[in-house]
Each structure stands twice: as C-alpha cells, then as structure tokens.
Amino acid sequence: MQYFRGIQEVKAESILTYDPVHAPLKVSRREIFRYLGIRDGKPDPQTSSLVDSVVGELEKVIRPREFHQAYPLNVTGDERHTVDLGCFQTHSRSLEKNLRGCSEVIVFAATIGSGVDMLLRRYGLTEPSRGVVMQAASAAFIESWCDQINDRLKAALKEGLYLRPRFSPGYGDFPLEDQRDIFRALQVEKRVGIVLTESLLMLPSKSVTAVIGAGKEDLSCVREGCEVCRKADCLYRRNRL
Amino acid sequence: MNILEEMKKRIVLFDGAMGTMLQRAGIGMGELPETWNLTHPDAVTQIHREYLNAGADIIGTNTFGANRLKYDGNPWKLEEIVDGAFRCAKKAVEESGHGAIALDLGPTGRLLKPMGDLDFEEAVSIYAEIVRLGVKSGAEAILIETMSDMYELKAAVLAAKENSDLPVFATSVFDESGKMLTGGTPKAMVAMLEGLRVDALGTNCSLGPVQMLKTARELVKYASVPVIVTPNAGLPRSENGTTVYDIDPEEFASAMKDMLDAGVSAVGGCCGTTPEHIRLLKKVTEGRRAPAITEKTETIVTSYAAAQTIGGQSVIVGERINPTGKKKMAQALRDKDYGYILDMALEQQNKGAHILDVNVGVPGTDEKAALCETISELQSITELPLEIDTSDFGAMEAAMRLYNGKPMVNSVSGKQESMDAVFPLVKKYGGVVVGLALDDDGIPVTADGRIRVARKIYQEAAKYGIPKKDIIIDCLCLTVSADRTGALVTLEALKRVHEELGGKTILGVSNISFGLPQRMIINQTFYTLALQNGLDAAIINPCADGMMRAYYSFRVLAAQDDNCEDFIRVYSGYRPPLPKGAVWEEDAERYLKEHGMPSEQNKGTLIEADRSGLKAGRKEGTAADAGGRSDPDKERMVMCVKKGLKEEAAKSAGRLLKIASALDIINECMIPALNDVGKDFETGKVFLPQLLMSAEAAKSAFEVLKDNMASSGESGEKRGAVILATVKGDIHDIGKNIVKVLLESYRFDVIDLGRDVPPETVVRTAIEKHVKLVGLSALMTTTVANMEETIRQLHEEAPSVKIMVGGAVMTESYAESIHADRYCRDAMASVEYAEEVFGPSH
C-alpha cells in the first residue's frame, strides 16, 4: 500500500490531456513503413509521399484522449496464475510474469478518436492504397499517444518506483474478455469515448487499453513493443532479424 | 408539477449524481447499479430523498444502464429493475412532499452502424422497451442523458416520442473542444433535436461547470427550447483507487451562476455532485426568473457531426448522385456498386459541395432499400449533410428515419396530397424541406403565382408546427427556349420570397437551358444572376468548371470572399479542363521525364483526342502493327499501371483505344504489368501500397476500356463472380477491400457483401448468383468461429462453391481445420486462387 500511495501522491490527475501545440504526437516514418511491411525502410518515392500526405491528413483529425486509474496489485503466485488488479481479477501466466514484483498497477484506456475511423472507411472503400497507408499511420499515432502517456506517467512517479512495459488484454494469455472488466472499472465509454462491439473489438478502432505495473525493480524497459509476442516470424515484427 | 410550465417561469433544478452516491453507500465495483433498486431500495430512496430535500425539482430514476444489452443473461428482469426504481423515487417524493420523476436513460454502451455494430432500429427498440416500462411505472418526463453520439441520441428520442406523450429532455456530452465523441457540435445537436421536437436539451457530464460554460453558451445561442446544464463536480482525479472530483460544492454553485447568466433554464449536477452541491445550487437559483427564450430563425441541416447553415452565403448542393440521364450511375445503383457512388460523393465534396443530393430512383429497383443503403454508406465516408431526394413517400420516410442528423428533404409541393404526405414526416423526424412552387394547376407562369404557392406551403407547414426556417422554396424555372421570360420570372420570384415572405430559396439551375446548345454557357450566367438575386442554395454539378467559376467569382465580387482567399486558392495555377482523353502536352512531357517513359514524337500546344486520332498527323494504327511492347503508347500504359498512376492510366487507355482493341490493351499491357508488379510484391521488391496503386490504376484504365467494349460489342464480359465478405462480428474490412481491388484489377466481378455479414447472407447470395468462389476474411480470434460456421453452411447448401479465407488471425493449418479450400496469406494469393478456379485470363 505504501507504493500505491506513492503513485497517488504524485500522479493526482486521472486524465492526461493532449496538447497539440506544445506536445504534438510525433510518428516515425520508419515505424509506419514497418507496419506496411517495408522492411528495409526504403519505399519508393510514391509510397513515401503518400505516407507524408496521410500523416498530414491524420494530424488534423486525431483527438487523443485517455483515462487512467491506479490500483493496488496482488500477484498471488498461485497455481491458477491469479492476478488481482484491484478493480478485477484475472488468470494469466503472461500477465503474472509481466507484473511480478509490482505492488501497484495503472490501468488505462486511450484513443485517437473516431474521426480516423471515418477516413479509414472512406479510403478503404474508394482508394485502398491510401487506406492501407492510413491504417499503418494511424496505428503509429495511437502507439505514439500511448508512449506519451507512458512517459508522462513515468515522469510523475515517485523516486524509487519503476514502470513495467504496458500489457493489453489479448497479449499472450491475458484474456480479451477482461476488456469488459476494464471498461466497467474505468467507465471507459463515458470518460474516453471508446465502446466495445459484441465481439470485443474497440471502437474507435485506434484505441488501446492496457495495464502498467509499478514496482521497485528497475527492469529498464518501460516501453516495449511487439517483441513480447511469441510469433517470432511475424512479417511486422519490430527488430526482426 | 407541470415541468414545462414551470420551466417558463423559473429556473428548474435537477438532482445530482446517482452513481457517486451509490458508491458512497457502498456499492461494489462489479455490481450493476440498477440492481440496488431491488437489493437496497432504502439506500436508493434515501439518495432521492436527500436530493429532494436539497431542493431538486426533478429527480432521475436509477435506470441509467437499465437496458437489455446490459441485463441480458442477468437474473434480474428489466421490468422489476425499472419498477423498483420508480418505487424508490415515488416513496422519496411522497415523503418529501414535492418533486417530479423523470425516467433516466443513458447510452447503450455500443456504437451504431455503419461505424459500429448495433443496428439503428435495434437501438430504438432497446430504448422503447425501457420507455414503455417507465411509462407504466409512472414517469412524468423522460431524461436522455450522457449521450456522446448523435445517432444513438436520435434513436433514444424517437423511442421516447413513439412510446410516450411525456416531455422529453436530452443532454449530451461535449469535450473541451466543444464536440461530441463522434464529432457532433452543439449547433448540430440543437438542429437535430429540435427537429425531433424535444422539449428541452442540453449538456451533462465530462466537464466541470467552468469548462462547460462555452458549450452552454453555444446551446443557448442556437436553441429555441430551454437549455439544461448538469456538469460534473469539476475534473476527476485518482485518490486511493477511487475517482474524486476537484471542486467543492461552494465553487460548483458559484461557477453555476455564470451558466444562469448565460441563459440556461435548468441546472443540476452529474458525476461527483452530491446533495450538498444541489443545496447550494438551489440558493443560487432561488428568486431567478426563467430566461426569455427567443425563436431562432437560422436554417440548419446537419450530418452526424457537421452543421451547415443555409442563408447568408449561398451553398452548393451537389446534384450528381442521381441516375436520371446517367447510364453509369443507374448501372452502379442496380449493381449496388457503392464504390462508384462514394467516389462521386467525394469528388463533389473536393470540388466544393456543401450538401449532397441523393436520388437513387431507378425503375425496377427497390427505391426504399436503395436509398437507405446509399445514405448509410455515404454517412460512413463523408461528413457532409445529405439531401434526401425522392418522390416515393415510403422511401422518404425510411430514409429520414435512418438518417443520422437533420437532413434536407427534396421535396414537397403546393399540392395538398404532397403536403399531407410530407409534412407529418418533417414534423416527426425533422428536416429542412424543399418546397416546390407548384400546385395542382402546375407551375404558375407568373412570379405572383409562385409566391402564392410558397405562401400556401408555409401556411400549411405552420399547421404542423413546422417553422418557416425549415422550408426552403424552389421557385422553379421554365426553360428559356420555350418561354422567353422563364428566367426573369424565376429571378423575380426568388427575390420576392426573400423580401415579402422572409423565406429561403433553392434552385435547380440547369433546367433553364433545356433544348439549347452548349447549355453550360446559359447555366453559368443564370447561376450568377440567381446569386445576385439572393439565391440561398443551388442544386448544381460542382464538377462543372463553368458553374464553379460563376460561384467563386460571384463571391469575390459580392464581397463574400475575404482577401479573395478562396478564389486565389482555387484558381492560381488554374487551367481549363480538357475533353476526355486529352492531356496537356507539358503534363505528358513531365510524366515522360519523371517516369522515364518513351517520348511522344509530335508537338502541339494541346494533344487532341478527337475521333480522327490521337494527334494531327498520327497514322492510323492497328493492333497488329502496334502489337509489340516497343510501341511507345503501350509502353506508357504498362508503366502507368506499374507506377500506379491512376489518372494517367485512364488517359493512356483512352489514347490507346485509337490504335488497339480493348482486349489487346488488357492482355498485352494491363495483365503483364499487373503480373510483373505481383511478382515483385511476392519477392519483396514492392510493397502493399505500390501493389494497390497499380491495381487502382489498372482499374481506372479498365473503366475506360469497359465503355468502349460495351459500345463496340466486344466481349466485355467479366471473368466470373467472386463473393467477398468479412464475417459476422468483424467490422474491420481493410483486408477484404485490398483483395477486392486486386481481383477487380484482374477483371473478376466482385460481389462485396461488406462487413459483419451473417452466414445466411453469404449462402443465399452464393446460391442466387451462382457464384463459384467465396472469399471470407476474419480479423479477430473471437470471430473465427463465425467464419467456421459460414463455411459449414456453404458446404452444406452450396457444396460446389470454393472458399478462400484470409485475415490477421488465419493460418494455413487453421484454414484447413475449418475446411476452407484455400488459405490466402495475402491479396496476390487470392488472385492466384481465383485464376485457378476460373482459369487464366485470355
């Protein structure tokens, strides 16, 4: 509980607001190319200018929002890999591993808004080449927003506490069904404007929910991306050999 | 208490948060709050009582999340929950001796189609169920609150109106930028809700009173009904694992003074507010009289997000989504080729249209279904408001009901029959309706006559409570070649609609020139004259250069274009459009240079594409002597496809048709080019965007060739029909769209069933259209089961159909285990499999 207060004292706000003037989201072209399956990072000039134009269009429509809440954490270490996240319980070997040694957890939900979905649909139907690039670029934008949230949470942490890589329902054996619990606990619909479909897809589609553990150990990888996935031969894997 | 009468006299007070108080009373994290109506009725009653004792005039029942989506599979019956809620509220009112009870309705928690997966009518029916229960239990008003999507808001209001005679209040959530989550603005929301005849409207939740003030002012500015404001107790922050709000009751009440000064009629609190907030708020409101509410006269149509004012600067209604006299559009509608229709919408939007007219009346088709589908598709890709254009009143009603926002409706006339049919729809669903200045005697020949009809339309509308601002008069024009004063009468009439009737006007401009050569010359001048006479909206083709020249130049001359900004943006670097198939020589040269294509030999200021040949002096070529890849035009075609140059590919196809047959062009240029790109894609030399750009270029060239094949009687038959669908539950369709464009570029006839497609629809279509190949896509592990079911049903009922599958979660072995015929790892693989099924192109 001591560390739990540690977060609380410093990180008072539950909402981090997006400031497009002073802290605009930056997306790396290299990351977008990776999402497009362009591995050597050198697309032809047409694709490259398409990416530029899409990024410019997206910058005008994104509306990043988020909400987070810190909870006391109990990784029980029992046979069923029970993890008690304060607002709900789940059973997951990979989440247990991710959160081992942590005493509290931040649960968050973030989105870049529904305007992006309209454009994705527009171009998906009328100009798929642009649609594909927009998928990649908007994925990079939501990742960038999550990174910014991560950095701001980290900056607000009490000394001696460190964050674990964020971990989302659907990663490893962290059940996707837990989305419902996260949505209930954070009132995600009302506060962030994300809803779940019957099949547990999030809408707007460029949205993320995740948990971030906080503990005394500095494992020095606050941000971790898709490397955590065991599908090592994935076409889109970062730092793929 | 008559709430509405009370609102006219004084500031009416709503209660504060229910959720916050339930948490204080100890409700558990996972508990559904509404179950407390039955498990802890005393606690709920106590909360109501505290609010009433604090001075609240209206309390909302504890039914925010009481709907069948949240309570399905739950042991509690909705009926008991709602009835329990009213028992608690009534008991509190009885004990306090005052207070009215409003049935509280919150969002469903789902997003409606087309952006989400909940059907609009399903949403209406979910709310209708609760409304009926609330009415039965004794509700005195219906309070729809915390809505963040205009479409869901419309569903809830319709349900309330259709199932009760109670006053309906509706409040939405706006963020600090003044927008709803799906983009709606206060102006758009007011327009839509007043169209639906709500009794009061406003905003709640998300923000504290300080941040909410701006939105409240906007609402007051546009609303002709009372405005309700119920903010949170400031902004939320975490404290020991719970959410608390950052301003205390004193600050809250004091900040609410500004709201009252801004002209709101009713106040209360949302998340974080308590009886203490309401008690202090009561002090602030006491002795204040209700603000005077004026009837606003601005004519507004909206989409799901944007609002467009009609009046002031003239607006353009794009006329091109209309099959009359357009063979291709008619065919697209018959084929449900929404890609074509959506392209046309976007082209008009890019050219400057403010509203899009939608007319889908093709003889022999189901207009109602087509209109609804087209509107739904359009609203998923454009934020422009639409004009529902039909003479079929059944189709009109269905479309007005389904429309997300406040539509423009075309049209009503002075004929009694027409008014009897259209005005009830406008009264129920809202809308700005075009009133044609004609009646049972036809179009009056004089301006006097047309003014008389306009007056009659206004008067009849008033009987339904439809204000003048929601009628826009079309003074009509008789063709000037048949009636030499046709234009003058129209211009006089539209001026008089403004001056004598204080009304708004619209005009279909191009009728004037019927029967004359070079109609555009007349049209653009008539358009300018109409603008000068105060035309508020013109139904024109925004892709017609002459009309837009008239529009932009008029705005400069009438001092409507500040610093000539728009004019300069549109016309610096302007070159007049060329006839189909022609290209400016400098462009041709630039392409050649940029892309290293073989050079044209002849010079001229303009490369002509008339019927005698590509250019003066070009020899007539045959397919045979231009057969080799060495022919520069064919080489250009190949390069255009390979480089993915869409426009240039279409132009190249047009030029090539002078010297080669369409089939030769396809077989010698397009297919080899596509194959080359496909190979490069497979070997990792080019990537998905390039592959798609090539496919899009091939498709645009193919469109040109298709026209030619049809007219020359050449076999333009496509190669066979393929059904594509994203399975039930899955609403992301990028993968399916990629496969579609590639298959189409290889001339397969794609039947695109869209997203979230039930197995039965796939099976039925496969059988009806005798389809040999079905492609299914699934993105989520949760929806693969639906893919398996679709395959099972196909095997059972249409065993000869081949099935290919793909999608993010699919693997070779998984595809095999669910009995698909082929797993396609990417879009090229689907083309290869289609070629295998149908045989290669020849």
3-state secondary structure of B86: helix
B734 and A135: CB-CB below 8 Å? yes
Q: At what angle do helices B393-402 and B416-429 cross, to 10 degrees?
A: 10
CB B506 within 8 A of CB B472: yes
Question: What is the C-alpha to C-alpha distance for residues B640 and A82, in angstroms, rounded to an integer?
Answer: 59
Nearest CA in chain B to A131: B734
- Per-residue pLDDT of B818-832, as tens digits, reads 999 999 988 889 999
The mean pLDDT value of chain B amounts to: 90
A176 and B346: CB-CB below 8 Å? no
Other beta carbons less than 10 A from residue A227's beta carbon: 12
CA distance B743 to chain A (A): 13
pLDDT of B590 strictly over 90 = no
The listed CATH number (3.20.20.20, 3.40.50.2300, 1.20.58.220, 3.40.50.300) that belongs to domain B308-563: 3.20.20.20
Q: Place A226 in a pLDDT band, splitting at 50, 70 and 90.
A: low
A132 and B688: CB-CB below 8 Å? yes
CA distance A204 to chain B (A): 9
CA distance B775 to chain A (A): 17
Identify all chain A residues contacting B644, using CB atoms and an 8 Å cutoff. 46, 129
Of the candidates B181, B235, B342, which has its C-beta nearest A193's C-beta?
B181
Question: How long is chain B?
Answer: 842
Q: What is the pLDDT of residue B325?
A: 86
CB A164 within 8 A of CB A102: yes
B183 and A125: CB-CB below 8 Å? no
The mean pLDDT value of chain A amounts to: 85
Q: Place A208 in a pLDDT band, splitting at 50, 70 and 90.
A: very high
Find the helix or strand (DSSP H, E) in which B806 lies: strand B802-806
Locate B374 and state its tokens. Answer: 């087209």
CA distance B767 to chain A (A): 26
> Any CB–CB contact under 8 A between A157 and chain B?
no
Of the candidates A37, A131, A176, which has its C-beta nearest B737's C-beta?
A131
Higher model confidence: residue B579 or residue B270? B270
Identify all chain A residues contacting B241, using CB atoms and an 8 Å cutoff. 4, 69-72, 86-87
Q: In terms of DSSP bridges, do strands A207-215 and A102-111 run parallel, antiparallel, or are they unpaired?
A: antiparallel
Q: Place B31 in a pLDDT band, splitting at 50, 70 and 90.
A: confident
pLDDT of A37 strictly over 50 = yes
Tell me whether residue B642 is exposed, middle or buried, using C-beta atoms within 10 angstroms of its C-beta: 0 to 12, 13 to 18, 19 or more: buried
Q: How far is the first Cα of chain A from the last one, in angstroms, to the nearest whole number? A: 42
Q: What is the pLDDT of residue B106?
A: 97
Nearest CA in chain A to B644: A46
Q: What is the mean pLDDT of residues B736-746?
A: 88
Nearest CA in chain A to B684: A38
Q: What is the mean pLDDT of residues B283-302?
A: 96
B241 and A129: CB-CB below 8 Å? no
3-state secondary structure of B626: coil
> Any CB–CB contact under 8 A between A156 and chain B?
no
What DSSP string runs through chain A?
Answer: -HHHHHHHHH--BS-PPP-TTTS-----HHHHHHHTT--SS---HHHHHHHHHHHHHHHHH---EEEEEEEE-EE---TT-EEE-SS-EEE-HHHHHHHTTEEEEEEEEEE--SHHHHHHHHHHHH-HHHHHHHHHHHHHHHHHHHHHHHHHHHHTSPTT-EEPPPB-TTSTTS-GGGHHHHHHHHTHHHHT--EE-TTS-EESSSEEEEEEEEESS--S-S---GGGSS-TT-TT-TT--
pLDDT of B89 strictly over 50 = yes
Question: What is the C-alpha to C-alpha distance for residues B111 and B129, in angstroms, rounded to an integer?
Answer: 19
pLDDT of B606 strictly over 50 = no
Identify all chain A residues contacting B782, using CB atoms and an 8 Å cutoff. 176, 199-200
Predicted model pTM: 0.89
Q: Place B742 in a pLDDT band, splitting at 50, 70 and 90.
A: confident
- For an interface test with A, which of B381, B728, B742, B744 has the most A Cβ atoms less than 10 Å from its Cβ? B381
Closest-CA residue to B201 (of B181, B221, B175) = B221
CA distance B20 to chain A (A): 13
> Can you give the three-state secondary structure of B167-232, one letter per residue?
CEEEEECCCCCCCCCCCCCHHHHHHHHHHCCCCEEEEECCCCHHHHHHHHHHHHHHCCCCEEEECC
- For an interface test with A, which of B238, B640, B812 has the most A Cβ atoms less than 10 Å from its Cβ? B238
Question: What is the C-alpha to C-alpha distance for residues B150 and B120, in angstroms, rounded to an integer?
Answer: 12
Other beta carbons less than 10 A from residue B65's beta carbon: 19
Question: What is the C-alpha to C-alpha distance for residues B244 and A228, in angstroms, rounded to an integer?
Answer: 35
pLDDT of B624 strictly over 80 = no
CB B300 within 8 A of CB B307: yes
* Level-2 CATH architecture, domain B3-285: Alpha-Beta Barrel (3.20)
The listed CATH number (1.20.1560.10, 3.40.462.20, 1.10.1240.10, 1.20.910.10) that belongs to domain B583-712: 1.10.1240.10
Q: What is the pLDDT of residue B664?
A: 86
B452: β partners: none
Higher model confidence: residue A226 or residue B76? B76
Q: What is the pLDDT of residue B735?
A: 83
Of the candidates B241, B339, B783, which has its C-beta nearest A125's C-beta?
B339
What residues 70-99 of chain A have any CB closer than 8 A to a CB of chain B? 70-72, 86-88
- Per-residue pLDDT of B299-349, as tens digits, reads 999 999 999 999 999 999 999 999 998 888 998 898 888 888 999 999 999
Domain locations along chain A: 2-19+29-228
CA distance B729 to chain A (A): 6
Identify all chain B residues contacting A181, using CB atoms and an 8 Å cutoff. 30
pLDDT of B741 strictly over 90 = no
Q: Place B681 in a pLDDT band, splitting at 50, 70 and 90.
A: confident
Identify all chain B residues contacting A15, using CB atoms and an 8 Å cutoff. 235-236
CA distance B657 to chain A (A): 25
Q: What is the pLDDT of residue A216?
A: 85
Q: What is the mean pLDDT of residues B229-236?
A: 92
Higher model confidence: residue A43 or residue B284? B284
pLDDT of B781 strictly over 60 = yes
Supply the ipTM of this predicted assembly: 0.87
Phi, psi of B628 (to 5 degrees): -70, 160
pLDDT of B713 strictly over 80 = no
Q: Which of B21-35, B276-290, B718-732 has the highest mean pLDDT?
A: B276-290
Nearest CA in chain B to A1: B240
- Residue indicated by tokens 């599979």: B73
Q: At what angle do helices B734-745 and A115-126 cross, to 10 degrees?
A: 20
Of the candidates A47, A113, A199, which has its C-beta nearest B690's C-beta?
A47
- For an interface test with A, which of B343, B782, B826 has the most A Cβ atoms less than 10 Å from its Cβ? B782
Q: What is the pLDDT of residue A234?
A: 64
Domain locations along chain B: 3-285, 308-563, 583-712, 721-838
Q: What is the mean pLDDT of residues B684-702?
A: 88
Identify all chain B residues contacting A132, using CB atoms and an 8 Å cutoff. 688-689, 692, 734, 738
Nearest CA in chain A to B183: A115
pLDDT of B723 strictly over 50 = yes
pLDDT of A9 strictly over 70 = no
pLDDT of B260 strictly over 90 = yes
The listed CATH number (3.30.565.10, 3.30.160.60, 3.40.50.280, 1.10.287.1120) that belongs to domain B721-838: 3.40.50.280
> Any CB–CB contact under 8 A between A30 and chain B?
no
What is the CATH topology of the domain spanning A2-19+29-228?
Answer: NADH Oxidase (3.40.109)
- Per-residue pLDDT of A111-128, as tens digits, reads 999 999 999 999 988 899
Assess whether the region B3-285 and the region B308-563 belong to the same CATH fold. Answer: yes
- For an interface test with A, which of B72, B692, B699 has the most A Cβ atoms less than 10 Å from its Cβ? B692
pLDDT of B840 strictly over 80 = no
B238 and A50: CB-CB below 8 Å? no
Q: What is the mean pLDDT of residues B747-770?
A: 91
Q: Place A227 in a pLDDT band, splitting at 50, 70 and 90.
A: low
Nearest 5°: CA angle at B675, between B672 and B676? Answer: 85
How many residue pairs bridge chain A and chain B with CB atoms within 8 Å of each other?
170
Of the candidates A5, A36, A129, which has its C-beta nearest B644's C-beta?
A129
Of the candidates B109, B241, B730, which has its C-beta nearest A86's C-beta?
B241
Question: How long is chain A?
Answer: 241
Which of A17-26, B301-310, B377-386 has the weakest average pLDDT? A17-26
CA distance B274 to chain A (A): 19
